[in-house]
Structure 1
Amino acid sequence: MTVHPSLQTYADAWTHSIEAIAELVQPLVEGEWNRPTPCPGWSVRDIVSHVIGMECEMLGDPRPIHTLPRDLYHVRSEFARYMEMQVDVRRHHTAPEMTSELEYVLIRRARQLRNENRQPDHMVRAPLGSEQTLEVAYRMRAFDVWVHEQDLRTTLGKPGNLDSPGALVTRDNLLAVLPRVVAKDAGAPANSAIVFDVHGPVEFLRTVRVDAEGRGSVDGAPSLGPAATLALDWETYVRLACGRVKPAAVADRVKVEGDADLAWAILDNFAVTP
């Protein structure tokens, strides 16, 4: 690949996860494509349709001209409507149509990566007609395909890759928004610290500190006397942060010490994906 060095990590993570998705869905029979996944409102087919659609947008393909049905309960925002377009237009595609389109878009994207010579700060298309840097686009695709790979693995009963390159990109993405979750969304008090102790295939200890003005920051230093400590496994952390499960459903997998009300306020606001 010839991508810029700062993009290589994301390109490698994306490649690893999307090839895993292709391998997971290749042998599926027609009925299995309709199985519901942890991603609200989406089946196996819907997730693969979403992945195909987003990669087509990375390639610069025009978006489909399509009218969404009015009864899609999970579509509650303009962002969701934007994402649903690429999904709904493929809802009646057969298994061979899905796997062949996925294979073709992978070939095209691999060629794009081999020939990539744009700089990380180059602006490219983003959802809802906005723009983002190429680096953000690469990072978000790596994050997105890994999370959806895990959705498919959960549905198909084929766990794995919880510590793959995409998992590490996902960890960093989720940690970047953790200060907002704690300080703003959950309303942690000023001059407090909250510790997250995550174990499993991806392990880390992070402290979110809220300053006197109520602004949050995150670091890897332990806190002496935090307001609350939340200990949980990596898979549960991801499922909560990506809105795949409600806190009450995994209460037995989260150990809370300190201010329980604050800890559960954080968990109630933990989902950060649209």
Structure 2
Amino acid sequence: MTHAGLAAARSSTAQLAEIIPQLNDGQWDLPSACVGWRVIDVVAHLAALASEAVHPPPPDSALPKNRERYHDLRVDERRGRSHAEVLDEWRRSTPRQLDLLEAAQDPSGADEPVEVAGLGTYPRHLLANTMAFNVFCHLRNDLLAPDGPLPFTLPEPTDDQVAPAIEFMLAGLPQMQGPELTATVRQPLVLDLTGPGATTVTILPATGPDGLLTVGPGADAATRVHSTALDFIAWATTRKAWRNHCRITGDPADATPFLDRLNII
């Protein structure tokens, strides 16, 4: 089970809750590092995710299939609300979302596959890691300085916060982009992440009927991409350029097409 993912989600959520009362009205309207979203829009996004976890909306074929555009739509729906209304939704829905994620760790249903529209299918227990990733990534990369506009500081990220986020990213990596990412991996490729959240995995070309890449533990390839796990969260989501944060050993031609295409949402 991913009890570590639940703990990480709670930890980063608590840190966000500590920062929220420190903002003034002007800071809420500052542009975040997430292009097109203000600071309040980032919280609106997290509030929307929490509300949908608590009250899943009915299927709607008119909604964007692209997950990023879907998130933009949900944020746009909240742009006419006051700061207080957005924050109230986040405060009401987030604890209930965390309770649901805790219940999802129960062995009786923890391994049940759950489809997340536009992102793939995951065992129910891993949805806690999804929240851990979302809150950590938006808080650390989009809201807080040096990349975001808010001049507040938090303790250095811990392995307990980062590792569950990385686990979700690696689970989503083969699924989120499907064939377009699969086509970039012709030879096995090692991803060597260091620091908090450290792990080493090998990305294997697709061989099965689903046509997806496989991410396996350990190092089993000549070409390696070296990065910190914290930087991976930034560049693998295209917030930063991978070339500024990665070192390749082996044949760059085996790694560059993959790195150029990767975009974890």
1:34 partnered with 2:34: no
SS at match of 2:224: strand
Letter matched to residue 271 of structure 1 = N
Instruction: Find the partner of 2:143 among 152, 158, 175.
Output: 152
1:232 partnered with 2:220: no
Quote the offset at 1:152 in angstroms. Answer: 2.0
Kept in 2, the 8 Å contact 1:82–1:127? The answer is no
Kept in 2, the 8 Å contact 1:33–1:44? The answer is yes
1:257 partnered with 2:246: no
Quote the offset at 1:44 in angstroms. Answer: 1.2
User: Which runs of structure 2 are paired with 1:93-132 in the superposition (5 Å)?
Assistant: 93-109=81-97, 119-120=109-110, 126-127=116-117
Q: State the Cα deviation string for residues 182-217 of structure 1 (Å, max 9, x = none).
A: 99535333xx33222222222222233447789743
SS at match of 1:26: helix
Instruction: Find the partner of 1:138 among 128, 132, 138.
Output: 128
TM-score when normalising by structure 2: 0.74
* In structure 1, C-alpha distance between the alignment counterparts of 2:113 and 2:202, rounded to whole Å: 33
* In structure 1, C-alpha distance between the alignment counterparts of 2:103 and 2:137, rounded to whole Å: 26
Kept in 1, the 8 Å contact 2:193–2:226? The answer is yes
Gap regions ≥5 residues in structure 2? none
Q: Which residue of 2 aligns with 1:20?
A: 15
Kept in 2, the 8 Å contact 1:208–1:217? The answer is yes
Instruction: Find the partner of 1:59 among 54, 73, 79.
Output: 54
SS at match of 2:196: coil
Quote the offset at 1:50 in angstroms. Answer: 0.9
SS at match of 2:169: helix
Quote the offset at 1:105 in angstroms. Answer: 2.6
Instruction: Find the partner of 1:91 among 56, 70, 79.
Output: 79
User: Which runs of structure 2 are paired with 1:63-78 in the superposition (5 Å)?
Assistant: 78=66
Q: Which residue of 1 aligns with 2:215?
A: 218
- Rate the CA distance shift 1:61–1:215 in 2: closer, same or farther, 3 A: closer
Letter matched to residue 189 of structure 2 = I
Q: Which residue of 1 aligns with 2:262?
A: 270
SS at match of 2:239: coil
Gap regions ≥5 residues in structure 1? 1-5, 69-75
Quote the offset at 1:52 in angstroms. Answer: 0.8
Quote the offset at 1:100 in angstroms. Answer: 3.4
User: Which runs of structure 2 are paired with 1:157-172 in the superposition (5 Å)?
Assistant: 157=151, 158=153, 160=155, 162-172=157-167
Q: State the Cα deviation string for residues 136-183 of structure 1 (Å, max 9, x = none).
A: 543322332222222223412435553353421211122234567899
| Two-structure CA RMSD over aligned residues (Å) | 3.8
Kept in 1, the 8 Å contact 2:182–2:206? The answer is no
- Rate the CA distance shift 1:131–1:263 in 2: closer, same or farther, 3 A: closer
